[in-house]
Amino acid sequence: MNDEEKKLWEVLELVEDPELPGISIVELGLIDGVFLQGGTVEVNFLPSYSGCPALQLIQDSIISVLKNHGYEKVLVNKIFEPGWSTDRISDSARIKLKEMGIAAPCGLLSEQLIQFPQKAKVPCPRCESLDTECKSNFGSTACKALFFCRNCLEPFEYFKTLN
């Protein structure tokens, strides 16, 4: 990676997910590549969920943050290959999610959660107990499921594994 590309990645790390303040889209693995192509910055963006209402806002933020750093011509390409998966979420993002009270994706596919709600084994982000259960496969956003901790009796959200 040359210096120019390094700089572009650093700028992209300033673009936050609109629903998860403090977590950048780079940490969430939403960017596949960024490069300078004949004076235009091209950003390869991987949509997370088809129906995520934040997709357009994220693309607009990418353009405006790059513009604020002097890159006048920006093109955001929505690409589907490689498909986005929760495996792309970085460790630093997982820690931040836990601090926000959201359990990070832990590899269990959602169908397993629904079929075996008692055996969820998703740790509570507050008390870390494994005595948790999945209440609904759908939470406040498309990417999250609703959980309840039987130990500390608090509800929390789980970032669903997608791969």
- Site residues (CB under 8 A) for other proteins? 47, 49-53, 55, 80-81, 83, 110-111, 114, 135-142, 146, 162
Residue 30 beta carbon to other proteins: minimum distance, rounded to whole angstroms: 14
Are the C-beta atoms of 41 and 71 separated by less than 8 Å?
A: yes
Residue 140 beta carbon to other proteins: minimum distance, rounded to whole angstroms: 7
Residue 33 beta carbon to other proteins: minimum distance, rounded to whole angstroms: 17
Helix (H, G, I), strand (E, B) or coil at 51: coil
Closer by beta carbon to other proteins, 9 or else 138 = 138
> Where is 134: in which H helix or E strand?
strand 132-136
Residue 155 beta carbon to other proteins: minimum distance, rounded to whole angstroms: 12
Closer by beta carbon to other proteins, 61 or else 96 = 61
Give, in order, the Cα–Cα distances in Å from 15 to each of 43, 60, 66. 13, 10, 9
Closer by beta carbon to other proteins, 9 or else 116 = 116
Residue 102: count other Cβ atoms within 10 Å of its Cβ.
21
Closer by beta carbon to other proteins, 80 or else 91 = 80
Q: Report which of 122, 126, 120 is spatially closest to residue 105, judged by C-alpha positions.
A: 122
CA dist 163 and 155 (Å) reads 25
